[in-house]
Structure 1
Amino acid sequence: MQIVLASQSPSRRMILNSAGVEPLIHPAHVDEDAIIASLDGAAPADIVSALALAKAHAVAPSHQCNVVIGGDSMLLIDGHLHGKPHTETETIKRWRQQRGKTAELITGHAIIYGSQEIVETSSTTITFAEASDVDIERYAASGEPLECAGAFTLEALGGWFIDSIHGDPSSVIGLSLPVVRRALYNLGFNASDFWS
């Protein structure tokens, strides 16, 4: 019995590793843009949950005897959801818009074991620093935030530019240990069942 992470995110893997779990890594390949487009007008938490569930569903058939975790995070700021910026130019643009502001990072979790599935979101409030233009440009050039929801990390270089968080720090990094623990309990497991 193992946890299967339907993600190639090094941050999600790091959270599980730090918590004593060596997950199987089986990245899911889903058309995120199509899923988001199909949910036009849906609540932000519902969109993020749908993305996490699609990823878990893509991987679960190959791992019927294991616990599969799908996850997705997006930043809700000024009434708009933002995922990964993908480019330096977009990262710089977003940081110039979000510096000094407070936003909500929403992380969706879908945990599947056999025919059982649990979906839950975790929300954390983030206050961004008044980062300088030079720091924003250098941070974007580092490549670190390009594949991160909201164009930032908490645990690495991006930590310089986060003034405060209110909520679950592990959720900001990409996977809420409290959410996963509750799901495991509901599925009849203990968190310690998966420790290496």
Structure 2
Amino acid sequence: MRFVLASQSPARLALLRAAGLDPVVVVSGVDEDAVAAALVEPAPEELVTALAKAKANAVIDDITDLDAVVVACDSMLFIGGEMVGKPATPDIARERWARMAGGSGVLLTGHAVVRIDGGRRTKEAAGTRSTTVHFGSPSQAEIDAYIATGEPLQVAGAFTLDALGGWFVEGVEGDPSSVIGISLPLVRQLLAEVGVSVVEMWK
């Protein structure tokens, strides 16, 4: 059985590889704004889980393995009463860091798992993991330098835990792997729900 990661995130892929898996990457190409717009006043958990499910469903037809599990994720930061994803511009990233600095936010990652047996979809499971992130207070020069790298424009909430953004994170309460983009404990649980043992997938 193959493990299919429906994501182009290098952080998710690196984390899974470090955790003993050898994922096949199939990028979903889902229009996240369209999926979100179709929901009526979704709760934060509902939003990220719906996006993860949409990504998993989008790649099913591209899976050529007869037996596989497809795993998709979506992360967003809940801060100041709103859900935010990747900042579209440096100015938005700068404004976001002005709000985040010295404060806290909740990083939510929705997960969807679909099992395929004999080329046919047989079982699925989904869930969300929430982790509180405490941000440091970088200087304006540090924020400008960070934004200039381009990294915060590529990631939910305009920060990373496992790369350059880690310099500006004071701590997390909860699952650090979920902040990186995929919760290893939750994926293990969801795989078990569809009848797959993660230890049997270790390379």
Common topology (TM > 0.5): yes
What do residues 125-145 of structure 1 show as CA deviations (whole Å, max 9, x unaligned)? 001111111111100001111
Q: Residue 177 of structure 1: which of 172, 177, 184 is its match? A: 184
Kindly state the Cα deviation for residue 186 of structure 1 after the two structures are TM-superposed: 1.6
Partner of 1:29: 29
Partner in structure 2 of residue 123 of structure 1? 130
Q: Which is further off, 93-102 or 169-178?
A: 93-102
One-letter amino acid of the counterpart of residue 41, structure 1: E
Measured against aligned partners, the alpha-carbon deviations of 1:50-106 in whole angstroms (never above 9, x if no partner) come to 000000000123325210011000000011000001322221111011111111000
1:78 aligns with 2:76: no
Between the aligned partners of 2:6 and 2:198, the Cα distance in structure 1 is: 18
1:82 partner amino acid: V
Aligned partners of 1:192 and 1:88: how far apart in 2? 41
Could you list the runs of 5+ residues in structure 1 that have no partner in the other structure? none
Counterpart AA for 2:19: A
Quote how far apart the aligned CAs of 1:35 are: 1.2
Corresponding residue of 2:97 = 95
Moved more, 59-68 or 106-115: 59-68
RMSD over aligned Cα, in angstroms?
1.0
The residue that corresponds to 1:55 in the other structure is 55
**How far apart in 1 are the matches of 2:188 and 2:168?**
30
Identity in percent:
47
The structural deviation recorded for 1:167 is 0.4
Report the secondary structure of 2:45's partner residue. helix
2:202 partner amino acid: W
| Residues 15-42 of structure 1: per-residue CA shift (max 9 Å, x gap) | 1001011100000011111111121411
Query: Post-superposition shift, 1:174?
Result: 0.3
For 1:66 and 1:86, locate their aligned partners in 2 and report how far apart those are by CA, in whole Å.
Answer: 34
Equivalent residue number for residue 4 of structure 2: 4
- Unaligned segments of structure 2, at least 5 residues: 116-120
Q: How does 1:158-169 map to 2 (within 5 A)?
A: 158-169=165-176
TM-score (norm 2): 0.93
How many residues matched? 196
TM superposition score normalised by structure 1: 0.97
3-state DSSP of counterpart to 2:138: coil
